[in-house]
Amino acid sequence: MKVWKAVAGGLCLVWGSGPLKADALETMTAGVAKKLPALPGSLGREYDELHPYYVKYCTTTKLSPMPGKGKAGGIPGHAVFYLKGVCPDKSVGPSGLNLCPDDRDYTDPDLGLGLSTDRFLKNANFFVIPTRKLFLSADLSVGETFDDAVKERMIKQVEEEKLFQDFEFHEDAFPKDLPEAEREHYMAGISLGTDFGVGMGRNLYCINVPVPRPVMGLIVGYLNELNCSYKKSEGIPYRGLVKTDNDYHWDGLWDNCTHTPINAMAAVGIMEPRKTNLPFFQQLAQLAIPSHTFLDINDALNKPEIDVDAIYEHPMRRKMFREFEWIPLQDGVISEFIQMYQPNTVFEEDDRMYVAPDFARNLGKEIRDLTRDLRFSYHGKGKLGYVPHMFHMYKRYRNALAGVLKKEASRAFKAHQESADKVMIAVLQSTLTNFKAKQGRQEPKSKEWKDLQREIEHLEAEFLPRQKSLDYVEFVEKFKKFLQRKMFLLEVRIANFIEYSR
């Protein structure tokens, strides 16, 4: 009761007796940005309370071990991603995934899995690392140094939990004289800072994309099928030749650590897919770069106006909205900078990452600036740190709704409404069904069959445009209600967060 009184009190400041006024809400949030630090902190538990399922894509900087403590990574860095609300399922394979049970605590940021594609893997595309903590950081006390002893402790944890068990590796993964019994320990050692404990050896620039549970299920299905596909891949067209085995082969051009998260997100309309293993010159157009993908996600979801026609004309986004009332251009798509852990005597911080030359844009600066942008990142502590982003998204939804209302008042839309006569559509559909049934009883290509075919084509010429108009009109109406709900939810959240932060 106390919560709702506070919410109602906050809304009274801006709501009055009518719809929330944008200028009043802006006044309400004025000064919030000035009170927040210049750099964001890590997302708190509050994010998981708001968004229990999400994809966290991270591009990393170069891995730079201290002298004598390992091999340095490449300048391109690495790409990894974390699926919140997903649990391991070994029945599917060593990298098998499944949605976590409904009764788990979805406000827990550790309820999820980190996925990292590794060039040494042979029977799977990626490692699966349970919990955000083990995937991106370590179980350390405040101020505790990450040293060789802690590194060995993490390696031992990976071995005890058998996280690398059942994986097969290409022969070049190990020194030639390394005993079989020591391979798992060796692989865990060279994987720390790349496939688990990623933030112990690298800076990470991450962007989070919330999804509903069923949509996360589709992402899981895609990734499971990806790993299963290698088992039957011998003989398929492959990199301009023919594939000669049933193994996974990492390659910086043809199939790297960034292709996997891109295509997993493309399976639900977040991004456009990047194809793999095409002939050389075709593959050049499908190059996937870790740092560029971070910006590509933001460019795809945070920069465009939310437009009903753009969603309708995108086959996958139209499908996702119809089935789940979800679009990827939404509140909660925010970036996050995770600085490499300090104090650290195993790795030294190296903020270099590869970006392709671009005369029109300074991509490296854009990446770093994005994590400081109040509209697209989290700043401060507690829920108040989400208010600038929420207010920005409220304005985007409001503009989208204004666009829908303008569209509904247009002559073109009214023509669609007239065409979308449900009674006429039902009559035409019934007549078409009867004619097709009669045609099925005629001798193919007979005079009777041809006469019926002409009638069917005539009816379809009227029915199909009407059906399409009805589909479009209903989509627009559903989208309008969706935007109204989104705006109301943000009104409540913003008022609530500010009221409890005073």
pLDDT at position 76 = 87
Mean pLDDT of 442-458: 93
Rounded-to-integer distance, Cα 205 and Cα 152, Å: 26
Q: Residue 368 in contact with residue 380, Cβ under 8 Å?
A: no
Identity (one letter) of the amino acid at 479?
Answer: F
Q: Residue 193 in contact with residue 74, Cβ under 8 Å?
A: no
7-17 pLDDT, tens digit each: 333 333 333 33
Crossing angle of helices 213-229 and 315-324, rounded to 10°: 130
pLDDT at position 143 = 86
pLDDT band at 176 (very low <50, low <70, confident <90, very high): very high
In sequence order, the β-bridge partners of residue 87 are 98
In 119-212, where does DSSP find H-type helix? Answer: 132-136, 148-160, 183-191
Q: How far is CA 31 from the centre of its chain?
A: 31
Q: Residue 366 in contact with residue 356, Cβ under 8 Å?
A: no
Whether 497 shows a pLDDT value over 60: the answer reads: yes
Mean pLDDT of 402-411: 97
In sequence order, the β-bridge partners of residue 45 are none
**Residue appearing with tokens 């042979």:** 122
Mean pLDDT of 346-362: 91
pLDDT at position 18 = 41
How many Cα atoms occupy the beta-carbon half-sphere of 190 within 13 Å?
14
**Residue appearing with tokens 């600085």:** 339
Using a pLDDT cut of 70, give the percent of the chain over it: 91
Q: Residue 386 in contact with residue 497, Cβ under 8 Å?
A: yes
Least confident of 206-210, 308-312, 358-362, 471-475: 358-362
Q: What is the DSSP string of 231-258?
A: GG-TTSEETTEE--SS----BTTTB-TT
pLDDT at position 75 = 85
Mean pLDDT of the chain: 91
Q: Residue 17 class from Cβ within 10 Å (0-12 exposed, 13-18 middle, 19+ buried)?
A: exposed
Q: Is 365 helix (H, G, I), strand (E, B) or coil?
A: helix
114-158 pLDDT, tens digit each: 999 999 999 999 999 999 999 999 988 888 999 999 999 999 999
Whether 37 shows a pLDDT value over 80: the answer reads: no
Using a pLDDT cut of 90, give the percent of the chain over it: 82
Q: Residue 129 in contact with residue 195, Cβ under 8 Å?
A: yes
Core vs surface per residue 357-371: b (16+ CB within 10 A) or e: eeeeeebeebbeebb
Q: Residue 297 in contact with residue 206, Cβ under 8 Å?
A: no
Give how far Cα 153 sits from Cα of 134, 166, 197, Å.
12, 22, 12
pLDDT at position 7 = 36
256-266 pLDDT, tens digit each: 999 999 999 99
CA gyration radius, the chain: 27
Q: Among 87, 66, 92, which Cα is nearest to 346's?
A: 66
Q: Residue 117 in contact with residue 250, Cβ under 8 Å?
A: yes
Crossing angle of helices 259-266 and 290-301, rounded to 10°: 20
Structure tokens at 175: 């020194």
Task: Quote the pTM value.
Answer: 0.90
40-60 pLDDT, tens digit each: 446 878 899 999 999 999 999
Q: Which residue would you say has higher pLDDT here, 180 or 379?
A: 180
Q: Among 115, 43, 53, 83, which Cα is nearest to 336's?
A: 43
Q: Among 168, 238, 209, 411, which Cα is nearest to 302's?
A: 209
Q: Is 65 helix (H, G, I), strand (E, B) or coil?
A: strand
Q: How far is CA 220 from the centre of its chain?
A: 12
Q: Among 281, 140, 120, 123, which Cα is nearest to 199's?
A: 140
Q: Residue 400 in contact with residue 392, Cβ under 8 Å?
A: no
Whether 23 shows a pLDDT value over 70: the answer reads: no
